[in-house]
Structures are given as C-alpha cells and as structure tokens.
Structure 1
C-alpha cells in the first residue's frame, strides 16, 4: 500500500458516555480486575464483530490455552469511540481500535493511558461509502447537501472526511450524522439518510440497495490508509508484560491461520458472526491481513529498535483530524512515538 498518508475537553464530553458504559463493561467489576491488580489474574479484551485474527483467537481460545491460569473476558464493542471511553474508565486491558480513534486518543493534554502493540488488519473494501440507489447519487461530489451517517471518531469517519475533501467538499457542505452501524442500517431502511460510510457486516447490507462511491482501500492508496490496531493499557504494560507477549503470540498464530488454513478460518468467522460460510469468505476477502513478519517490519509497526511507518501514518492522521477541526491540536511525532509499545515484539517470530 502506498504511503499515507472538539469542543470542551474530551473528558467532559465522555463523562455521560462513561456512566452508561460502566454497567455494560464493569458491571462485574469484581470479575474484571486487570491482571496487574493482584489476586487471580484476569484480562478484559475488547473486540469487534468484524473479520480479523481477533475472532480466531477468541473462538479457538488461543489465549486461554496460552494463559490457563487467567480469567479472560471478551467484551464486544460497536466502535472505537466506545473503546476509548472504556480505557478512560480503566475497564479494558487489551482491545481492537481503529487508527483514527487511536490518533484521537493520544492527542490532547490528557492522552488515554494505552499504547499500540499490534496490527490486526489494514482497511480495504471492508469499509466503504455507499449512497442509497434511490437517490441517484453516483459520485462523492454528488453528496453536497445530503445526509451522511457514520460512527463519529471512527476510521470510517476519518475516511469519509478524506473522501469529501478529495471531492472538493467541506464537512459543512453535507449533513453529517453520528450513528453506530445498526442504527445506520435502520435509518437507511427508513430513508432518513442518503449515504453512509461504515464497515462490515452492515456495509454488505447497505450494498444490496446502494451504490458504492469509494472505499478505504481507494482512500488508502491515495495516501490516507486506515488500520485496525490493537492497544494495551499502561497498567498492563507495567504489571503484566508477559500476558502481552502471550497475546501477541496468539495474534501471530491467528494471522498465519488466515493464510494457511483459509477454510478453517472461514468456518471460525462464520461461527463467531452467525453468518454463512459464503458470507464469511466474502467478508474476509475484503480485508487486508498482514503476515506477522510484515507486522513487525519497518513498513508497518516496527520493532523495539525503532517504530515503523505506522508512526508516520498515525501522526499524519492526527494532523488531518486537527486540520478538519476534529481535534484541538495534533500531537508531535515524538508524542505519538511514546504511545507505541514495541518491547519484545520481534519475539513473536521465534
């Protein structure tokens, strides 16, 4: 892939959401202590119902096999905004997170206490901008004055802003609506919105009655790629780095399985998402999955000796979000570098 590329404080904006989130994520707080807190060891892992190695690690219990003495809890999220809120509330130890919400998370005077430790996938045709066919819209420029839904603070939101800019449109030229994937589908079916930028599996449902205008694959090739990262809390890094090593090894195994055992991977994804094998295969085909060797290469995450190109990608993403007034100011490259946890990363290849 070619090189890529808030109003009041974030904490005030998140206060209400954190209160609502606590019941879902920390309602079993006695069961949810991080492994670094003492007592029996536990890991709380946030994931998305989205084709990636995460689903293989979860379904095949790769981490449970590697850490038999741990209580491991998998918590499903709908978007990166919820993941960021959960980390602010110290309700997660490890989680999937898009590169755009990660760039937001490490921005500002009070960055979220986590670090990127792995790359799950690179966004391809599995995230896209689709217009309802009934609108007759056939290109991005045709969205001027239209209602477009996307989950705010997500990779889709970032890619949508990039697509609008390339088409000569400002965010103010359209009506942007903050909706999660399932509400997007409902609004689409009611005719309340004209277009949406979202990811699988909702994306595939929109495509049945919509026209795809662009995708994250196209936007990435034009210089602004997005990725699904995996982040770990600062508390876990300080208290239980061995658990992170085991988790990375499990993720590396999952990436190898996606390449070497495609049929088995398709069955696993189908089981996790409750879809047919044919649909699971089609969804997997739309993603871009790196090999473990690529993840730790200078082209992507890098190693303890030095971060890879992901450092540039995240820094550029933050600058773009600042230019779009989505965040107050972009962090420097040095600040972003501090949000990379690369210790022991190359060990997953041994």
Structure 2
C-alpha cells in the first residue's frame, strides 16, 4: 500500500470494553484458558520445558500462514508453541495483564487503549500484520432501508467494543455529523453479531471478516476501514510482545519477526499456497480465502520497518503519530480517560534489530 494512504490505529469501547472492554463470558473463558498456560510460560524462563504462548485471530493474514506452515515451530525446535485463539483485542489485553501471553496479534485501537492510564499494559508493538482495508466495514440490514451512515440515527448498531471496528465506527459517525449517543451502540463479538443480525435485533454492524461477508449477503455496506483510513483515521493489526519476553529472550522475538516477514513475502510470491494455508486455518473454500485476502492491505517487510510505518532501530516511524492520534480520538470520545502521550507511544515500539532481523 502506498505510504500516501496511512492507516491509523484504533478501536476501544463506549464506556466499556475490543479486536478485535465490556468483557463477555466468552472473553472471560478465553482469559481463563490462557491463564492456565501461565505456569508453563514461567517454566520456560527457568531452563525447563521452553514454551511460547501466541495469541492469534482467525482473520486472513500472514500470521495464519506462520501457524499453518509451522514456520515458528521449525525455526524454534526447542520450544513448544501454544497458539491461542482470541475473538477480540479485549481478551488479548486481559491475557497480557494476566501474564498469560508472550506474543499476540492486536488491533491498533486496543493497543492504544492498553497504553493509556497510570499502569499501561507491559507490552510493545514489534510488527505490523496488516492494514485494514475492505476487510472491516459498516453494514446495515437491507430491510432497514438505511443507505448511508447518517441514516443510522436512532438505530441499533453493534460492534466489538474497544476494537479497530469500534474506533472506525465512531470515526464514521463523527464524519456523518452524528454523535455516539445518536445511535444505540451494542457491544457484541463477531459470532454474536451474526446471530443478532439474523434475529433482527440490530440494524447495522461494524465488524471484520469472515463475519463481515455473511452480513454483506443481506446488507448494504455504508463505509469501510479503507475509506475511513483514507479520511485520516486508518487502523491496522499489530503484533505485540510482552516486556517479560523482551527481557528474557530477545533472540526468540527476532526469530518470530523473521518468520512473520517470510509470511508477508509468501503472500506475494506464493499466492496460491497462501490461499490454501488461509483456507485450511479458517475452514473455508479456496475461493473464499482468496476473496478475503484481496480485501486486506499487506505491507512488505521493508515497508513494515520503514519510516512510514513501524520504523527502525532508534528511529520510530509514523506509527507513533497514528497511535497517538488514535488515543486522542478515543479520549475525545470518552472511551479512555486520557490519551497516551507521544513519548509513551514511542517507547512502546520494539524496534531493536530492525530492519536487519526481517531479512
């Protein structure tokens, strides 16, 4: 994606919880599940069985290629790799607070949220998985007759709170001249959104793939994260690492970033193989996997470590300003008490070894 179209991070909650914090029972269960791995993570630092706990989303990206092709397992044969699935960034944030994760995918909005407050979550952004495009969007049920964002006034709109979609929804409402209070915002995870949609309990939803495609079948798309990003409020999926892992074994982080960079290259050099890997991980057809991949924006490793995005060792990139702007927007929307400063955001990027470790 050309640098002229930056993507700003996003997506917290409306007085509440995330991507991707009103925590539902499902999120609580997910946190409990990963909490069970925390003891193993501690053992890995004491010379016992080495274990790496990685949080991921069932969302088309190079991360799923790394998982499906077991690239990390091959690169770290002395480690047991635990892949833990999450439905949203709220669950990821809770797991990091519980010291139940070492590495995880996380939307830019919940990351900005995690950096806010007097006790920010002890993690750092170390990679960019993808930039939101048409793979996150706002869709209204066709039978409502709503054809634009302004038409949502007085309607019930669902999104996972504290997520990139939530952030983009708030931005879309603001651009249409609406306040969050002009609609009834409902905090639902993707599968719950689909169920509520089918029952007719909600009028519209802002969500990501694959749920998004199911809504499009009977809905009207009002805007997308690609459009919101072009308007100055981009969102993206980051990969974050715990400060504990940084202190304990930075070599593992370098190897992990290297295989993630390899996956980004495979998306371009081996599109058919990438489609097969994504289809297998998501349990969908190759045609659907190809269509979903085409809606995202995937940077090259060089772009990830460029001044336009994450940056390089000692030189933070524009991601700092994107995340800072996201935090300010969220604070303005009363989603967080105060936005993290640019200095706090800058220190929350793990840039050691970049760009060389991606080669």
**TM-score (norm: length of structure 1):** 0.95
Change (3 A) 1:34 1:101: farther
Within 2, Cα distance between the matches of 1:254 and 1:57?
6
Residue 260 (structure 2) pairs with residue 216 (structure 1):
no
* Alignment match of 1:92 (pick from 97, 101, 112): 101
1:264-303 mapped onto 2 (5 Å cutoff): 264-303=273-312
Within 1, Cα distance between the matches of 2:214 and 2:94?
28
Aligned to 1:347: 356
Task: Check conservation: 1:4, 1:316, Cα contact below 8 A.
Answer: no
Aligned to 2:215: 206
Residue 11 (structure 2) pairs with residue 2 (structure 1):
no
Change (3 A) 1:323 1:99: same
Deviation at 1:347, TM superposition (A): 1.8
Aligned to 1:263: 272
Within 2, Cα distance between the matches of 1:72 and 1:258?
23
* Alignment match of 1:226 (pick from 224, 232, 235): 235
Deviation at 1:91, TM superposition (A): 0.4
Change (3 A) 1:162 1:8: closer
Change (3 A) 1:14 1:177: closer
SS at match of 1:345: coil
Deviation at 1:345, TM superposition (A): 2.0
Structure 2: gaps of 5 or more residues? none
Aligned to 1:156: 165
Task: Check conservation: 1:302, 1:308, Cα contact below 8 A.
Answer: yes
Aligned to 1:305: 314
Aligned to 1:63: 72
Within 2, Cα distance between the matches of 1:85 and 1:3?
28
Within 1, Cα distance between the matches of 2:97 and 2:271?
37
- Once the two structures are superposed, residues 246-269 of structure 1 have per-residue CA deviations (whole angstroms, 9 ceiling, x without a partner) of 000000000000000000000110
Deviation at 1:173, TM superposition (A): 0.2
Task: Check conservation: 1:104, 1:318, Cα contact below 8 A.
Answer: yes
Within 1, Cα distance between the matches of 2:43 and 2:95?
13
Aligned to 2:60: 51
Alignment coverage as a number of residue pairs: 349
Aligned to 1:168: 177
Deviation at 1:121, TM superposition (A): 0.3
* Alignment match of 1:104 (pick from 99, 113, 128): 113
